[in-house]
Chains A and B, each alone.
Chain A
């Protein structure tokens, strides 16, 4: 498919007065002020947009400067959103850009806030936030233009609730994970050692003590110890890495080295079962590496001299050791030097961060520490060491990023945004930017490949038929009330599993007594006090019922004031009807209620029998690929279409 059908049409409206007026007045939310964001803000301003809200939580890093052209060296450390907004406004004072340095996932950016925008344009770098924005756009019924880049590749997609696929209609690849045992005991690839150095050792030495990594916990259990033993062992292990009173940073680094590269390795070697099919590792002895390492490390520790804040952020063990080439792999002695030096520097000059540090790919010292530790571990396990440059890329999951791809993708975002404002959503396309010459099946070279946007995936757990919104008092309502009144009674879920970030609740005959008892503890708690931050405004709660093959998600809005007459139950549930997925086995009729819905897609009557009080619109969801008639268009599409008479009054503006 391609975009032939889209032309002509757009050119007739692009210069029309009405469209220009609309672009001028449109309230645009730009999420992200990074690589795409900088280009996007500039292109928006120069295309005639004048009301832009930009949100980005990040601060400017040196490695941004090769493409994020609104930033200068002097801005390093400042808010991306604010500096970008100021830079564009300085050049185009007519364009009002309101900047917020914040995480878009914060609760104040709720459905109501999203409803205040005509379009949302994403220039985000992480899947988590992109999914979150997608859900809020769905709930607020605001069209979303979503984008992404990686090296020479890029893509721009348009998402309109009820008309096109939402961002999550197609499953997204999630980051690769590694077996815990491989990381802890039997690494055989550099990445295993890097993950160990970053997620385990760095966290232990410099991170928060109360964050027990999954790796820690699972591994202790994996070794066959009982629950109590595991806890005790974990505690003992953790306490070893606490710096003793009066212990010099030098002595500490020394002690840690011996522990992780000698003592722990010997302990692993003693687990004979592991080495039946593998070559056991070899411990490292610091005294053997010492002659090379001695000159570097100072026994007196390193003192904070007149170093400014900037210098502290730029701390580098490699620079102090005179190791320049970041593309060559270090010798074992060099790795040991860097390990000791980086540990000391951290303790002596960045002591205020110890206990709360988070690994960051742009933190030179943290990267050096991880590189040294992972190379030392690689040496133990006969794995080839890597260069600092390579390890940084792998540890930071660094996505290659260049100015050119961002420029193209941002331009494409604005092109789609203009089509939306011109009331021509049917002309929108998903656009994919390929790396260099792509020779298609037809043998033709293409850089940009457009494709028609797909209708929503009926089985999409996010936008599909199962998208609901719930207004409720999250302070007064207990978890049990939510389960009984909303989940069971309104949604007819028989055996609910409730999940949100960091929390899961289950019911069902397969649970043992202990689990039932554990889960029961949550029932009396008000929603906002549940674990992992609770259910609060803007929370997205996943409700599923395995027996019914039902999965749906609820976007929660906190609402304190209720009119008893109108809403005696003190909550309001909106959105489309949940429907069991088409492939659900229908034979399980013993499950109360919803199984009949499988066949009830086009039968409103049947639905009313299930729901005592149909609280929300039960509209059949038509997702076939045939062209939809006007009646079937979603409200947003209709709204957008209403603007389409622009095409006729083509007033050319000079």
Chain B
């Protein structure tokens, strides 16, 4: 555990409870680069600065104008005429004195073209309000250096968000309703012996009522297997019979079973006997990944995954390491603690086994990793069932010929996604419009409506590349896109910035699973859609 100094832990108390001290430590070592600091960019960075990143660098070449004051809270009158990056940067530093910040007064597009090496040392680059062509270049630069990229854009009442990274491996995915494997189907020897040491028939009434349901189920499984060639109950008939077996063990008065809470818990948990033994497909895919062929520069994650694989093949006999957590159950405190100890002991010995494999693996591959603590191995084992690997598509794939057009076609005809899919296409169309006309639709002197046909032409071309026909909302959305005039509305910017910072924190702390595709937020209908293209 990382020890956190007192004042900080007080300041970050409410968030430490979500991502823990190690998550906070990851955040506190993160260096962020923000490209363009309009409301979308400034608000995104503000949320991360409050969370306590190590530092940031803002890249923006523009000066503060009157209209900026209308939608960017991090600028004030005193900044008028001065560098926008400087203004935002100095106020952001005020928000959290443990964060260092700097700025570069240059147009991001120019920096991307002239100094690609600039981005090498950041943990995360947040690119806001950039057009497709610029984003493509930036994605290549970031991928080459293993820097994670977050693209954020708000455009009128629409906003988008997209993560790009070659590989993002997550140990702590923190699923909402994770149910641990309690091994009722195949108890290890110590658990089996412990469970079988209780003789139900000989117990007094009180003990009978307080025998943990885990023990009841393990005994029932043992009993069942003995009569069924060592097989677990399968099919609804056998499962009903299994429950009837449990029921027959209940104490009775005049032939009527007595209410016993531990037995009713056993009934509700009986399904744990025949569900979720195997290795989940996401984890299986990781174990079969090409990266499992280790070399000296393999990451900690892959070394741990290799150790996990050996464990499964050897000690685990096909099973993942035991989580070791026992849910709350009706029992005497004493019995519960004894049972808990049996589970914890097994979990610890599994960790030790994985750790032993890991040491051998690191040595065999002459790994450059200096050390992996037992705590890390333990965390990995505890979460082994929920490991996730996300490989984000390249932007050049999404924007090029390998775009998954079928996904878009499907979305354009789906009732609940048609509008957002249309907006996605139009957002790409406005960039093409810009390439031809050097301004965004609706930002020129002429009335916005006059540019609808030109945008329609660009969008129509895109639509035929996708191989789709216009959705019913097509004409309305086109007109609105022109009316937006590429403006950033503060409340839309604030919402997408909140989501962007959240995805950023997921990437930096390596906790929770980030969105794997392009997220479209539509403020008109309060809807979001994610398209993996």
Residue of A nearest to B96 (CB): A65
Report the Cα distance A407→B495, complex, angstroms: 6
User: Would you give the shortest CB distance from B288 to chain A, in whole angstroms?
Assistant: 23
Chain A residues lying within 8 Å of B513, measured Cβ to Cβ, are 436-437
Supposing A325-B3, A402-B15, A404-B499 touch, asked if A6 and B530 sit within 8 A by C-beta, the answer is: no
Supposing A4-B418, A8-B477, A276-B206 touch, asked if A404 and B494 sit within 8 A by C-beta, the answer is: no
Partner of A447, one of B95, B209, B483, B528: B528
Report the Cα distance A442→B416, complex, angstroms: 10
- Whether B12 is near chain A, meaning CB under 8 Å from some CB there, is yes
Question: In the complex, are the beta carbons of A403 and B477 less than 8 A apart?
Answer: no
Partner of B332, one of A278, A389, A448: A278
Chain A residues lying within 8 Å of B51, measured Cβ to Cβ, are 66, 402-404
Stretch at the interface among A11-19, A217-225, A252-260: A11-19
Question: In the complex, are the beta carbons of A11 and B514 less than 8 A apart?
Answer: no
Partner of B516, one of A11, A399, A445: A445
Stretch at the interface among A41-49, A290-298, A579-587: A41-49
Produce 1/0 per residue, A45-82, CB < 8 A to B: 11100000000000000110111010011000000000
A and B contact pairs by CB, cutoff 8 A, 9 listed? A7-B476, A7-B522, A47-B491, A66-B14, A399-B14, A407-B495, A409-B498, A437-B514, A447-B499
- Whether B114 is near chain A, meaning CB under 8 Å from some CB there, is no
Chain A residues lying within 8 Å of B191, measured Cβ to Cβ, are none
Report the Cα distance A65→B499, complex, angstroms: 20
Question: In the complex, are the beta carbons of B157 and A652 less than 8 A apart?
Answer: no
Chain B binding surface SS class: helix
Question: In the complex, are the beta carbons of B206 and A327 less than 8 A apart?
Answer: no
Question: In the complex, are the beta carbons of B490 and A383 less than 8 A apart?
Answer: no
Produce 1/0 per residue, A306-325, CB < 8 A to B: 00000000001001000011
Report the Cα distance A474→B64, complex, angstroms: 59
Report the Cα distance A114→B181, complex, angstroms: 54
Residue of A nearest to B388 (CB): A437
- Whether A102 is near chain B, meaning CB under 8 Å from some CB there, is no
Question: In the complex, are the beta carbons of B499 and A151 less than 8 A apart?
Answer: no
Partner of B526, one of A63, A69, A431: A431
- Whether B76 is near chain A, meaning CB under 8 Å from some CB there, is yes
Question: In the complex, are the beta carbons of A69 and B505 less than 8 A apart?
Answer: no
Residue of A nearest to B472 (CB): A4
Report the Cα distance A364→B485, complex, angstroms: 52
- Whether A200 is near chain B, meaning CB under 8 Å from some CB there, is no
- Whether B501 is near chain A, meaning CB under 8 Å from some CB there, is yes
- Whether A435 is near chain B, meaning CB under 8 Å from some CB there, is yes
Chain A residues lying within 8 Å of B418, measured Cβ to Cβ, are 4
Question: In the complex, are the beta carbons of A11 and B525 less than 8 A apart?
Answer: no
Partner of B494, one of A151, A364, A411, A650: A411
Question: In the complex, are the beta carbons of A63 and B14 less than 8 A apart?
Answer: yes
Chain B residues lying within 8 Å of A62, measured Cβ to Cβ, are 7, 10-11
Chain B residues lying within 8 Å of A91, measured Cβ to Cβ, are 73, 76
Supposing A6-B525, A448-B521 touch, asked if A47 and B3 sit within 8 A by C-beta, the answer is: no
Chain B residues lying within 8 Å of A402, measured Cβ to Cβ, are 14-15, 18, 51, 502, 505
Stretch at the interface among A412-420, A513-521, A609-617: A412-420
- Whether A401 is near chain B, meaning CB under 8 Å from some CB there, is yes
Question: In the complex, are the beta carbons of B524 and A9 less than 8 A apart?
Answer: yes
Question: In the complex, are the beta carbons of A435 and B337 less than 8 A apart?
Answer: no
Question: In the complex, are the beta carbons of A408 and B499 less than 8 A apart?
Answer: yes
Chain B residues lying within 8 Å of A593, measured Cβ to Cβ, are none
Report the Cα distance A448→B497, complex, angstroms: 14
Residue of B nearest to A71 (CB): B95
- Whether B187 is near chain A, meaning CB under 8 Å from some CB there, is no
- Whether B262 is near chain A, meaning CB under 8 Å from some CB there, is no
- Whether B465 is near chain A, meaning CB under 8 Å from some CB there, is no
- Whether B484 is near chain A, meaning CB under 8 Å from some CB there, is yes
Supposing A4-B419, A47-B489, A652-B448 touch, asked if A404 and B47 sit within 8 A by C-beta, the answer is: yes
User: Would you give the shortest CB distance from B224 to chain A, in whole angstroms?
Assistant: 29
Produce 1/0 per residue, B497-533, CB < 8 A to A: 1110110011000001111110101111111111000
Question: In the complex, are the beta carbons of A429 and B6 less than 8 A apart?
Answer: no
User: Would you give the shortest CB distance from A64 to chain B, in whole angstroms?
Assistant: 8
- Whether A109 is near chain B, meaning CB under 8 Å from some CB there, is no
Question: In the complex, are the beta carbons of A418 and B491 less than 8 A apart?
Answer: yes
Supposing A8-B477, A43-B491 touch, asked if A66 and B50 sit within 8 A by C-beta, the answer is: yes
- Whether B369 is near chain A, meaning CB under 8 Å from some CB there, is no
Chain A residues lying within 8 Å of B526, measured Cβ to Cβ, are 3, 6, 412, 415, 429, 431, 448, 450
Question: In the complex, are the beta carbons of B491 and A414 less than 8 A apart?
Answer: yes
Question: In the complex, are the beta carbons of A69 and B6 less than 8 A apart?
Answer: no
Supposing A415-B526, A446-B529 touch, asked if A398 and B14 sit within 8 A by C-beta, the answer is: yes
Partner of A415, one of B17, B516, B523, B530: B523
Residue of A nearest to B500 (CB): A404
Supposing A63-B14, A407-B501 touch, asked if A7 and B491 sit within 8 A by C-beta, the answer is: no
Chain B residues lying within 8 Å of A141, measured Cβ to Cβ, are none
Question: In the complex, are the beta carbons of B529 and A277 less than 8 A apart?
Answer: no
Question: In the complex, are the beta carbons of B506 and A415 less than 8 A apart?
Answer: no
Residue of B nearest to A45 (CB): B73
User: Would you give the shortest CB distance from A357 to chain B, in whole angstroms?
Assistant: 20
- Whether A645 is near chain B, meaning CB under 8 Å from some CB there, is no
User: Would you give the shortest CB distance from A342 to chain B, in whole angstroms?
Assistant: 16
Supposing A43-B490, A66-B15, A326-B9 touch, asked if A6 and B524 sit within 8 A by C-beta, the answer is: yes
Residue of A42, A319, A381, A415 with most chain B CB atoms under a 10 A cut-off: A415
